[in-house]
């Protein structure tokens, strides 16, 4: 690396860490809105995000870049599918936070990197390496242990992990910049989101009817809370190597784990600790293997920042490359 690249990488690392820390602290942010319906909150979040993204497109004069969606139906369908997956992920996350399941959000984001391996096997017909087999086996064992500990399947964590993993896979097939992609997803959802927020506004206990001045401010700023860390991440991911950026993904679920356990006193019985321990062991194996392969040029990083130990290509593309 040249001397000129060092400051750029250092700046990228600082911005990247800032993005992940902000994402982690958003758990506390959403907790301030725990008095309100999670679906109403998502309506506000998507609507506010769409307004900000529209302003950003106007400021950068990039509305024309979305014109491709008008005639490329396949791309539009991928954007719509990604937007729907993101909305489900956001809704499950916000619901979990406001209903006292922060530890389960941590589990979901801890599991999601291992979901990329599952996509490689099930969708891209990749062969499982021994290290991946061990990591996935540990994750499966963790789900069994946590099911026994909780008395039910950790469906919130599994829903979050599944939607986030598939969302990342679809994002790699959308040839738009982070700004344009996020704007397209927000604008696709803005009408139903605004309709949802309006439909719930008249109910007792809704944000317009019962929010304090501070809570109303939080609700209005949910768009900024969503967009700012995404833009920080987009800046960092272009400047920081995969071997550094990948493990940084674990900052958010680690913070959620500590916040749920120490700040909000969520139960952490011994069996749950064992379950998380199995996930952490699987992640350690996964990360070491991914970092090793990245050094040999066989890894990649998804547009959402997940560590991916294989290139996401279709079977036909791999055969052509051969």
Q: By the 8 A CB rule, do 300 and 242 touch?
A: yes
Burial class (CB in 10 A: 0-12, 13-18, 19+), 181: buried
The pLDDT of residue 175: 86
pLDDT at residue 247 is higher than 80: no
Rounded-to-integer distance, Cα 41 and Cα 91, Å? 8
Instruction: Tokens for 205, please give them.
Output: 């206990």
Q: Determine phi and psi for 63, rounding to 5 degrees.
A: -60, -35
The pLDDT of residue 53: 93
Domain boundaries, position 233: 5-321
pLDDT at residue 195 is higher than 70: yes
Q: By the 8 A CB rule, do 186 and 46 touch?
A: yes
Q: Is 84 left (phi over 0), alpha (psi -120 to 50) or beta?
A: alpha
The pLDDT of residue 294: 65
Worst-scoring range by mean pLDDT, 151-160, 167-176, 259-268? 167-176
Distance from the Cα of residue 300 to its chain's centroid = 17
The mean per-residue pLDDT over the stretch 111-125 comes to: 78
pLDDT at residue 69 is higher than 80: yes
The pLDDT of residue 321: 34
Q: By the 8 A CB rule, do 37 and 115 touch?
A: no
The pLDDT of residue 242: 62
Predicted confidence band at 234 (pLDDT cuts at 50, 70, 90)? Answer: confident
The mean per-residue pLDDT over the stretch 105-132 comes to: 82
pLDDT at residue 312 is higher than 60: no
Q: Is 304 left (phi over 0), alpha (psi -120 to 50) or beta?
A: alpha
The mean per-residue pLDDT over the stretch 204-228 comes to: 94
Instruction: Tokens for 199, please give them.
Output: 């439909």
Predicted confidence band at 291 (pLDDT cuts at 50, 70, 90)? Answer: confident
The mean per-residue pLDDT over the stretch 290-304 comes to: 59
Rounded-to-integer distance, Cα 148 and Cα 150, Å? 6
Instruction: Tokens for 44, please give them.
Output: 């506000």
pLDDT at residue 310 is higher than 60: no
For 133-145, the pLDDT digits (tens) are 888 899 889 989 9
For 10-34, the pLDDT digits (tens) are 888 899 899 999 999 999 999 999 9
How far is residue 99 from each of residues 7, 32, 61, 89, 217, measured CA to CA in Å?
Answer: 43, 12, 41, 15, 21
Full-model pTM: 0.82
Q: What is the β-pairing status of strands 307-308 and 300-301?
A: antiparallel
pLDDT at residue 147 is higher than 80: yes
The mean per-residue pLDDT over the stretch 58-62 comes to: 90
Total domain count, the chain = 1
The mean per-residue pLDDT over the stretch 50-74 comes to: 91
Mean pLDDT of the chain: 85
Q: By the 8 A CB rule, do 139 and 280 touch?
A: no
The pLDDT of residue 296: 66
């Amino acid at each position: 690396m040249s001397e000129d690249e060092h400051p750029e990488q250092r700046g990228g690392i600082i911005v990247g860490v800032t993005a992940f820390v902000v994402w982690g602290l958003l758990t506390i942010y959403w907790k301030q809105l725990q008095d309100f319906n999670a679906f109403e909150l998502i309506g506000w979040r998507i609507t506010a995000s769409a307004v900000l993204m529209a302003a950003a497109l106007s400021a950068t004069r990039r509305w024309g870049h979305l014109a491709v969606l008008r005639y490329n139906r396949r791309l539009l369908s991928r954007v719509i599918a990604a937007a729907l997956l993101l909305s489900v992920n956001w809704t499950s996350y916000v619901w979990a936070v406001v209903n006292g399941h922060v530890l389960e959000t941590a589990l979901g984001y801890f599991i999601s990197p291992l979901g990329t391996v599952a996509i490689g096997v099930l969708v891209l017909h990749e062969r499982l390496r021994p290290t991946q087999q061990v990591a996935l086996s540990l994750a499966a064992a963790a789900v069994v242990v946590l099911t026994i500990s909780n008395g039910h399947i950790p469906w919130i964590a599994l829903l979050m992990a599944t939607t986030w993993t598939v969302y990342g896979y679809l994002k790699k097939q959308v040839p738009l910049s982070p700004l344009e992609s996020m704007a397209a997803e927000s604008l696709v959802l803005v009408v139903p989101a605004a309709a949802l927020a309006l439909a719930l506004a008249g109910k007792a206990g809704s944000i317009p009817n019962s929010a304090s001045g501070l809570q109303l401010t939080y609700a209005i700023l949910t768009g900024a809370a969503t967009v700012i860390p995404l833009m920080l991440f987009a800046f960092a991911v272009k400047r920081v190597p995969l071997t550094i950026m990948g493990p940084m993904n674990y900052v958010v679920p680690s913070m959620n784990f500590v916040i749920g356990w120490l700040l909000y006193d969520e139960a952490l019985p011994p069996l749950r600790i064992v379950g998380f321990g199995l996930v952490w062991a699987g992640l350690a194996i996964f990360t070491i293997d991914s970092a090793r392969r990245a050094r040999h040029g066989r890894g990649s990083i998804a547009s959402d920042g997940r560590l991916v130990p294989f290139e996401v290509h279709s079977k036909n593309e791999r055969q052509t490359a051969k």
